[in-house]
Structure 1
Amino acid sequence: MDKTPENGAPTVDDVRLYEAHMERIKLRIEEARGLLYKKPSDERDLLYAVLQLRIAIEETACASLIANRASFEDAEKAFRLKRFEDVQKALKSLNPSYWPEAVKETAPESKTGAVASFNPVEDALTDADWLKIWGKLSSMLHMQNPWLPKHDIKRNHQFARTVVNKLVTTLNSHVTKLVGGKYFVMAQVWASPVRAYSFGLVPNSDT
């Protein structure tokens, strides 16, 4: 049943679902960060951290579908596809703007009359590069072939730390257009607790 009001705004339940989903992602990232920065840390800590980060990325890619059960379940199935480009194609078919965009909000200026705005943030995971990182994390969880050179644990450890930083940058303050394209959510994941706000899209006056 579609719970979306006639004005296109999401229900309170939709926003709360999004907050709860982001809270789970936040816990996974914090779990990974704790393992990667503790001393001593060994390969077991790295593998568990990589697993948490891999799932966190999958959950991030599905976040915009959280209020639509059918779409969310279709997104789960997409991650079972063998080719990475097929995963992305399937997600875009469900929501062309599925990936969250990291933003920095500028305060309104009383002197000039300029309104607050959202500006893109550098060093965040984008729709173009998250699949590569997800794929590399996935490969790190595979069985080690004893006839090949051993994994570079130090290098993989540093890579996982970089992923943590990119996820934090991406989700710290971000906007996501929810499935259907009628409204979006702005979320602050490292607030305590996670905070999310919904906004309806303003029609273009020229159309």
Structure 2
Amino acid sequence: MSLVAVSAVPAGNQGNTIYIDDSGSGLIPDGPTNCYIINESGKYLLNESLTHGLKIIANDVTLDGNGYNLTNSIAFGVQVYNCSDVTVRDMDIFGCKWAGIALGEASDCMVEKNCVTGCTWGINVWGGSVDNKIINNDVYNSTKVGINLAEADPKEEEGSEGNKVHANTVLYNTEDISADEELNDVSGNHVTPEEE
């Protein structure tokens, strides 16, 4: 279990890019969830596959998987928690005990061009998350829900609303998409055909 910000390389006027690999130093560990915490704004780029999750708790973060794999058999793949303006893209996430990608109390985030396979939830949006975009992802073989936009529950937890779920391929999950479509914009997705 390891993660490191190996080097910061200037990326023109866009600030620095932090490269993330599986070697073990640089970011804050969260042992119980087998993940590392990204707590500073910036651009993060995977430069190898990871065997643990990433938890983002900073605004204005771009996490680019660069096509590499991420798996976490203990908890989630990527969790965006209590922040805004985060982009998670080009991740290949599989085999996570919880969600492949989770947004909790998050706003104005973009989840795009990811492939999530064989997790409990593929993409899970909860805790009053609003105005997020879930676009052009592939989600397969989730044991619960492929893309879940949690509704408010009787315990007075806030539901997810104002989110856009467009142009995703969501196949062979126990349930493909679960969302209150009166509160969220869900359209143009390819889901498992109903059996006749």
Smaller-chain TM-score bracket: under 0.3
Structure of higher CA gyration radius:
1
Higher relative contact order (CA 8 A, sep 6+): 1
User: Which is strand-richer, 1 or 2?
Assistant: 2
